[in-house]
């Protein structure tokens, strides 16, 4: 039976952000990861869409992602097809990737506790006492000097300490996963319109020859559940338009991500947030694994520097994130909120405009990386439409 554990850093959440923090802490720093699920990477809670260049920069083994060089967008009556020559998309083997990230800490000063739920945390002197619970040991305490909130959209650490709360707007998705059959392994599809109002749908081939067909919606922009939207999609036979055959022995994945404004406050003394807890997923399509890994690793490095006497290290982490996200994500969220109100007709016109973009412009839009020229052009076109009415 566990009574009390001690560590330097308690990491709440064993997703890509939390695992990446642990793998980049100095070996002298003792960390504990609390992961609620019984196994890393299962169940799958994300579609796994990302970009090849980011996986290469992060040195992720190629076996964990499928490269995509054909990306097609569909609305009810329009389409935009991109043969991608340079900045190729990728689809992750989510479970394999997460387990690889966990393996990077196997020989470090880190204890990974799976099947263990975070219950609460309180300040005690200069540190913290957290309460956790699992089936074998019941409730027990963990003393730490730092607490990392990498718990995803639930932000359980910040909420427990009264430093933040769950987002009031979320993207909620459901996904069917089944053998790929004849669907091309290098092609991905994003679809919008009547079949996925307020959100979008996707068709992603995985590295292990499976196919993920998913639909996400925004709450509370709609009160529809993604399950009901998916049921209508399947019953309407819409998958055939994309060359997808839905097999009966599919597996169901589901997940939630925040869809709110990026908040520049990431550091609360010795409490720090990262990943979805810090709203780091891109606001246009909710893609965040690459940023969770990148900024999880950065936090691990800078937190080690802080512990070793560099008093400005955590502020550097926050400043780097703010420089990366603040402007682009503000504009991206504005786009997200606007298109969530699109009618099917507006989506048709939007996809027609999308077809006129270059590969570089399309990629920047999906990644929520906006140049000043693109922002000004988008605002001007929006003003023109308003004046035209």
Note the pLDDT tens digit of each residue in 51-93.
999 999 999 999 999 999 999 999 999 999 999 998 999 999 9
How is residue 180 written in tokens? 């790929």
- Assess contact for 174 and 298: CB atoms under 8 A: no
pLDDT in the model for residue 372: 53
pLDDT in the model for residue 325: 96
The segments of the chain whose pLDDT lies below 70 read 1, 371-389
**The model's pTM:** 0.94
pLDDT in the model for residue 61: 98
What stretches of the chain adopt beta strand conformation (E)? 4-6, 9-12, 31-34, 49-51, 65-68, 70-74, 79-83, 89-92, 110-113, 116-124, 127-134, 138-144, 146-149, 170-179, 187-191, 200-205, 210-219, 251-258, 267-268, 271-273
pLDDT in the model for residue 148: 98
Beta bridge partners of 129: 122, 143
pLDDT in the model for residue 388: 56
pLDDT in the model for residue 276: 97
Domains of the chain: residue spans and CATH: 4-42+97-166+260-331 (3.50.50.60)
pLDDT in the model for residue 4: 93
pLDDT in the model for residue 3: 84
pLDDT in the model for residue 382: 54
pLDDT tens by residue, 2-20? 789 999 999 999 999 999 9
> Within a 10 A sphere around the Cβ of 116, how many other Cβ atoms?
25
pLDDT in the model for residue 106: 85
**pLDDT mean across residues, the chain:** 93
pLDDT in the model for residue 197: 81
- Assess contact for 139 and 125: CB atoms under 8 A: no
């Amino acid at each position: 039976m566990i009574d009390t554990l001690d560590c330097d850093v308690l990491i709440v959440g064993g997703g890509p952000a939390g695992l990446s923090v642990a793998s980049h802490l100095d070996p002298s720093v003792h960390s504990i990861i609390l992961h609620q699920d019984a196994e890393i990477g299962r169940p799958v809670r994300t579609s796994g869409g990302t970009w090849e260049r980011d996986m290469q920069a992060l040195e992720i083994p190629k076996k964990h992602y499928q490269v995509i060089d054909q990306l097609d967008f569909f609305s009810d009556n329009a389409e935009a097809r991109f043969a991608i020559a340079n900045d190729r998309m990728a689809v992750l083997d989510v479970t394999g990737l997460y387990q690889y990230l966990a393996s990077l800490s196997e020989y470090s000063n880190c204890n990974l506790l799976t099947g263990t739920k975070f219950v609460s945390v309180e300040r005690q002197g200069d540190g913290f006492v957290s309460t956790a619970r699992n089936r074998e040991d019941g409730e027990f305490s963990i003393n730490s000097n730092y607490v990392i909130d990498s718990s995803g959209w639930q932000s359980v650490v910040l909420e427990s300490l009264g430093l933040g709360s769950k987002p009031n707007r979320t993207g909620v998705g459901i996904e069917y996963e089944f053998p790929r059959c004849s669907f091309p392994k290098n092609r991905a599809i994003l679809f919008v319109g009547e079949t996925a109002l307020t959100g979008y749908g996707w068709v992603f081939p995985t590295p292990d020859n499976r196919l993920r067909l998913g639909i996400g919606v925004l709450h509370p922009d709609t009160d529809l559940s993604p399950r009901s939207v998916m049921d209508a999609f399947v019953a309407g036979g819409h998958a055939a338009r994309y060359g997808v055959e839905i097999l009966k022995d599919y597996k169901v994945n589901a997940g939630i991500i925040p869809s709110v404004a990026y908040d520049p406050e990431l550091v609360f003394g010795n409490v720090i947030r990262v990943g979805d807890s810090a709203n780091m997923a891109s606001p246009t399509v909710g893609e965040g694994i690459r940023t969770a890994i990148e900024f999880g690793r950065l936090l691990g490095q800078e937190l080690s520097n802080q512990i070793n006497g560099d008093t400005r290290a955590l502020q550097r982490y926050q400043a780097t994130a703010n420089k990366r996200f603040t402007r682009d994500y503000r504009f991206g969220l504005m786009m997200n909120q606007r298109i969530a109100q699109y009618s099917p007709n507006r989506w048709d016109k939007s996809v027609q405009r999308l077809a006129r973009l270059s590969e570089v412009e399309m990629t920047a839009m999906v990644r929520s990386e906006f140049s000043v020229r693109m922002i000004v052009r988008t605002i001007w076109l929006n003003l023109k439409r308003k004046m035209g009415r």
